[in-house]
């Protein structure tokens, strides 16, 4: 799996064990967990943030969880993304410091190799001259995904956001867009450069990789995510901590507060946050919350 696909499974823009009912292909499970409070149910759905129209309809058990919920909670409230201030901050976080170029950041040898790799997928690296390496990796992959029919507007969050608006359900975020952008801004430039090169080197495998990920997600195959994400993030413990583990820990108190409420919630986060020793599911279990995969 390319490093960018790791982000695709983690952020709306992990070390891995199974929940109470571990999923394997053919068992009819989904990337959906059910938590019971004293007076309510909190459904936790793993997301693929960019999908194809052909990946719908979603499984009936997922749609039932949405209908049974009064409130939708995502990694970030996507309504926030529509703010001009947030849009400006997003552009600023993706930009290199004034006077710096991508070639200067990654060095001549890596830049020349990156040029060749980007050209192979029909793009020109010069269009990204002023952008940080992490953003280049994401932008190139997004463009490739668009060529394959994937669209953020067809992603799980956007699908349910549209439903929630029409149905008058409340929408909230576990973190802010600012907090999520800060994670990438904090990555050292050399680490970003390595990440970009690794992603671009594997770009030719993207069609198969992305199809494998979607199929694993549809069948709730936590083992697939365990193998793939551990292989990539296991190489960079600091990145794993900042992208996955630390965020999971911050979310636990908010999810447990929902379990003390009297209304049902549907929580949607990247699927990689729901598998592993440091996962949302495992952390909740350590606090005595039972999580059943559906």
Each residue of 158-186: pLDDT tens digit? 999 999 999 999 999 999 988 988 888 88
Q: What are the tokens at 273?
A: 């946050």
Q: What are the tokens at 49?
A: 């943030």
Q: What burial class does residue 262 get, using C-beta atoms within 10 Å of its C-beta: 0-12 exposed, 13-18 middle, 19+ buried?
A: exposed
State residue 234's pLDDT score: 64
State residue 195's pLDDT score: 86
How does pLDDT run along the chain (294 residues), one tens digit per residue? Answer: 444 444 445 554 322 222 333 333 334 799 999 999 999 999 999 998 889 999 999 999 999 999 999 999 999 998 888 888 888 888 888 999 999 999 999 999 999 999 999 998 889 999 999 999 999 998 998 888 888 899 878 899 999 999 999 999 999 999 998 898 888 888 899 989 988 998 898 887 888 888 899 999 999 998 888 888 777 766 678 878 888 899 999 999 999 999 999 999 999 999 989 988 899 999 999 999 999 999
Please count the CA atoms within 13 angstroms of the CA of 214 that sit on its side-chain side: 21
State residue 277's pLDDT score: 87
DSSP state of 41: E
State residue 11's pLDDT score: 53
State residue 239's pLDDT score: 79
Q: Domain segments of the chain: what residues?
A: 3-293
- Among 114, 130, 128, 115, which residue's Cα sits nearest to residue 196? 114
Numbers of helices and strands, H then E, in the chain: 15, 6
Tally of CB atoms within 10 A around 206: 21
Task: Say how far apart CA 240 and CA 12 lie, in whole Å.
Answer: 16
State residue 233's pLDDT score: 67
Residue 269 φ/ψ, nearest 5 degrees: -135, 165
State residue 237's pLDDT score: 82
State residue 20's pLDDT score: 36
Tally of CB atoms within 10 A around 56: 10
Torsion of the alpha carbons at 128, 131, 137 and 139, rounded to the nearest 10? -60
Cβ pair 225, 9 in contact under 8 A: yes
Cβ pair 215, 25 in contact under 8 A: no
């Amino acid at each position: 799996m390319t490093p960018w696909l790791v982000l695709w499974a983690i952020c709306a823009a992990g070390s891995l064990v199974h929940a109470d009912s571990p999923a394997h292909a053919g068992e009819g499970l989904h990337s959906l967990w059910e938590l019971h409070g004293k007076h309510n149910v909190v459904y936790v759905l793993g997301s693929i943030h960019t999908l194809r129209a052909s990946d719908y309809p979603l499984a009936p058990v997922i749609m039932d969880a949405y209908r049974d919920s009064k409130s939708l909670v995502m990694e970030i409230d996507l309504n926030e993304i529509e703010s001009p201030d947030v849009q400006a901050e997003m552009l600023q976080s993706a930009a290199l410091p004034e006077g710096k170029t991508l070639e200067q950041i990654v060095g001549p040898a890596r830049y020349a190799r990156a040029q060749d790799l980007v050209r192979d997928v029909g793009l020109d690296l010069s269009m990204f001259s002023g952008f940080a390496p992490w953003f280049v990796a994401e932008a190139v992959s997004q463009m490739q995904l668009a060529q394959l029919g994937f669209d953020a507007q067809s992603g799980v969050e956007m699908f349910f956001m549209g439903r929630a608006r029409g149905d008058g359900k409340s929408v909230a975020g576990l973190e802010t867009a600012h907090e999520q952008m800060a994670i990438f801004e904090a990555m050292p430039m050399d680490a970003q450069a390595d990440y970009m090169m690794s992603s671009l080197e594997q770009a030719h495998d993207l069609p198969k990789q992305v199809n494998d990920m979607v199929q694993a997600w549809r069948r709730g195959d936590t083992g697939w995510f365990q193998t793939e994400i551990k292989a990539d993030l296991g190489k960079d413990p600091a990145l794993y901590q900042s992208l996955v583990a630390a965020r999971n820990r911050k979310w636990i108190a908010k999810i447990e507060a929902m379990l003390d409420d009297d209304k049902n919630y549907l929580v949607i986060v990247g699927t990689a946050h729901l598998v592993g020793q440091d996962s949302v599911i495992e952390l909740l279990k350590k606090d005595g919350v039972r999580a059943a995969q559906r």
